[in-house]
Amino acid sequence: METTAATGLTYREATDADVDTLVALIESAYRGDSSRAGWTTEADILEGQRTDPEGVLAVIESPDSRLLTVEQAGQLVACCQLEHRGDHAYFGMFAVSPALQGAGLGKVIITEAERQARETWGVTEMHMTVISVRNDLIAWYERRGYRRTGRMTPFPYGDERFGIPQRTDLQFELLVKPLV
């Protein structure tokens, strides 16, 4: 467990005991009416679930992955996945409690995630995928040093584990940031 005094945030790796709380946090940040309290909502483009207990547990149990939890005043307020993929790390499953979005917490957390990936695995890049129509979110990542690659992968239409699309033009774009 590592606490950053300046922000009062505590970082630790998630355990099996965190699964239900993490699923609730991720769902609240992206789906349904609760997600509309923050700016990261996907409620207008996807219905249904964002993740499930099995998906979260798979990340926790994967030997090349860690699910970083972020606590403030003893409450779990954010999380993100870091996965070691050779010369780069993958950043995903990023969620900040909707009530705390827009206050700079995301910037602090992504910076810490990048530091941990660089120091733990010696990687030189961070990769992530973002739904390509999420222009506001992509712009936020661009302000953090990520660049659009134009490399797209299809959205998994028909697989409700990833949500129920409300439009037909969804795909994922790869964003990359050098970590040197």
Q: What percent of the chain has pLDDT above 90?
A: 71
Task: Find the domain containing 135 and state its range.
Answer: 2-178
Distance CA 138, CA 102 (A): 15
Q: What is the pLDDT of residues 135-174, one digit of tens each?
A: 999 999 999 999 999 999 999 898 887 888 888 999 999 9
The helix/strand/coil state of 34 is helix
Q: Are 68 and 14 in contact (CB under 8 A)?
A: yes
CA 82 to chain centre: 9
Q: What is the pLDDT of residues 94-138, one digit of tens each?
A: 999 988 988 899 999 999 999 999 999 999 999 999 999 999 999
CATH number for the domain that contains residue 137 = 3.40.630.30
- Is the overall model pTM greater than 0.85, yes or no? yes
Task: State the first-to-last Cα distance of the chain, in angstroms, to the nearest integer.
Answer: 25
Banded pLDDT at 4 (limits 50, 70, 90): low
Q: What is the pLDDT of residues 29-49, one digit of tens each?
A: 887 666 676 666 676 778 777
Residue 5 has pLDDT above 70, yes or no: no
Beta-carbon neighbour count of residue 114 at 10 Å?
A: 20
Distance CA 137, CA 173 (A): 12
Q: What is the pLDDT of residue 55?
A: 92
* Average pLDDT across the chain, whole number: 90
Per-residue tokens: 59: 């990340």
Q: What is the pLDDT of residue 145?
A: 98
Q: Considering only CA atoms, which of 151, 110, 157 is closest in space to residue 132?
A: 151
**Total domains present in the chain:** 1
